[in-house]
Amino acid sequence: MLETTNKIKYIVYCRKSTESEDRQVLSIESQENELLNLARKENLIISKTYKESMSAKAPGRPIFEDMLLCFNKMKNCGLLVWKLDRLARNAFDGGKISWLMDRGMISEIKTPSKLYKNIPEDKFMMSLDFGIAKRYVDDLSVNVKRGLKTRLEKGGWCGVAPRGYINDRVNKTIAPDPLCAQYVRRIFELYATGSYGLKQVSNILYEEGLRTRSGDKARRSHVHHIIKNPAYCGLMRAGDKLYVGNHKPLVSKELFDRANDVLSGKIHSKRQKHDFHLRGFMTCGVCGCMITATTKKNHDYYYCTNGKGACEEHKKYLRSENLDKKIMNILDKICFDDEAIEMMYQASKEKIKNQKDYFNSSTETLQKQFNLVQEKQSRLADSYLSQITPEAVYTQKMKKLNNEKVNLELQIKNFVDNQNKGLLTLEQTKTYFLTANKAKNDYLVAKKENKRRVIEPLLWNLAIKDQKVALFQLKMPYQLMLTGHQNSSFETILRGLDSNQDKWSQSPLSYR
């Protein structure tokens, strides 16, 4: 009778987290079965059983804390656990168990393979096992961070794909989403003009079909986040560092920078309260002032702003529908024969296949600059380790060199990706011709809010005098196409496109 009274009662604790480091650990049910079998085999008395599904990397497990309170109430209890790391993987919780044993609240801890009694030798071994459990977590964290950094340096994507991309788990990167990528490009294109605010962009994209996963309109904060994310121009941000990704950019670096300049206020936006699809394209043919618009009786009218105060044209109002007809007449001038375009395309394709020397030379130069930056980083690191360079100077210079290195790496990647630039230019040229061919019809059938989207890539300036077109300017390369159309020389057009691409946005030609 005395032996039964003094027999130790045991508390069973089973834990498993859903995290990767516990994938090989027995399930909670399996742990419980193993411990109950052990209790039956050794005739142990089980008082309570605690089961928990939570990581032990950090303090704060509610069921674990309840168990500790139970030990304080029952006193002189044993603890059955499948393995010591089920109790704690952090120093704080491990210290609580050790402290309860020091006070005699826990008389012994028993596992299927070990027994820890309240004696110095066993408590020392227990502290070592707790330390090993914590070291495992620490090493795992370091290895995960090292693995993520290595993947980033190789251009691989880490985490969930941002909106406009989908995860490509086979290649460990991301790929453009066939449904959403076009909307992301549209966000950058609209906002980079400086004519639309975040809310306006959200409204326009909603009208054009963009929906969140719940079917709602994208919020301003969502649009803001997209514009700030460098992933869309081919970069990946991790902390304060940028890495070049292997994924396909949705927008160019130039468009990304311009949109962010507008967002930061470096480029002042010109927000529009009304949707006048031709405002900003037209000037007065008499005084040169901009032509603005107003709405009267549900119709849009365009008129001179008379900014110089001496023009009579501001008294003449041109109705939007009549102006649309004049625009379509202009678009009709840049229509080409589809068969002639295809013949030009095929004839020119063979001429430019071998024009790669310039790109190979440029890539080699950039690679030398990249290697030089790496050498500077190495020398700077040696200087810092030798305690010659102060830490503050080292950090500042290393960050600057890293940014320079990333920019060079991005340039090299762009050159490598564009080894066939001649062929790409030809493909773009063909696209320009086909776009010009269908512009008139697209403009005719487009809704009012979408007409600007059709005309914006083509029209540069339109001068109105006496409610007629005095002269007009198209953007390059469409103005060059117009001139080439008159000369019937596709070769001239191609040479002009190839040599004037960098000047398209600076020197449009005029046509009367």
List per-residue pLDDT tens for the chain, 512 residues long. Answer: 334 334 789 999 999 887 655 555 678 888 999 999 999 999 999 999 999 998 888 898 999 999 999 998 888 899 999 989 899 989 899 999 999 999 989 999 999 989 999 999 998 999 898 888 888 877 777 777 777 777 788 888 888 899 999 998 888 889 999 888 989 998 998 888 887 889 888 888 887 788 887 888 888 899 999 999 999 999 988 877 888 888 999 999 989 999 999 888 877 655 555 668 887 788 899 998 888 888 888 888 999 888 778 888 888 899 989 999 998 888 888 877 777 777 777 777 766 665 566 677 778 888 888 899 889 988 888 888 888 888 888 888 888 888 888 888 888 877 776 665 555 567 777 788 888 888 888 888 888 778 888 888 888 888 999 989 888 888 877 787 777 555 544 555 555 555 544 444 333 444 44
Domain around 100: 2-150
Residue 160 lies in a domain: no
Q: Which residues, including other chains, have CB under 8 Å from residue 137's CB and lie 6 or more apart?
A: 21, 57, 89, 90
The enclosing domain of 65 has a CATH number of: 3.40.50.1390
Would you list the DSSP string of 137-190? HHHHHHHHHHHHHHHHHTT---SSPPTTEEEETTTTEEEE-TTTHHHHHHHHHH
327 and 464 together in one domain: yes
35 and 144 together in one domain: yes
Q: How many C-beta neighbours within 10 Å does residue 448 have?
A: 12
375 and 447 together in one domain: no
224 and 309 together in one domain: no
pLDDT of 482: 76
Residue 97 lies in a domain: yes
- The pTM for the full model equals 0.42
Q: Single out the residue in 98, 117, 150 at which a domain terminates.
A: 150
219 and 129 together in one domain: no
CB 311 within 8 Å of CB 287: yes
Grouping H, G, I as helix, E, B as strand and the rest as coil, residue 109 is: strand
pLDDT of 501: 47
Give 462-490 as a 3 state SS string.
EEEECCEEEEEEECCCHHHHHHHHHHCCH
Residue 346 lies in a domain: no
447 and 305 together in one domain: yes
Q: How many C-beta neighbours within 10 Å does residue 171 have?
A: 12
CA atoms within 13 A on the CB side of 125: 11
Q: Two tokens at 495?
A: 């040479």
Total number of domains constituting the chain: 4
Q: Single out the residue in 396, 419, 442 at which a domain terminates.
A: 419
40 and 81 together in one domain: yes
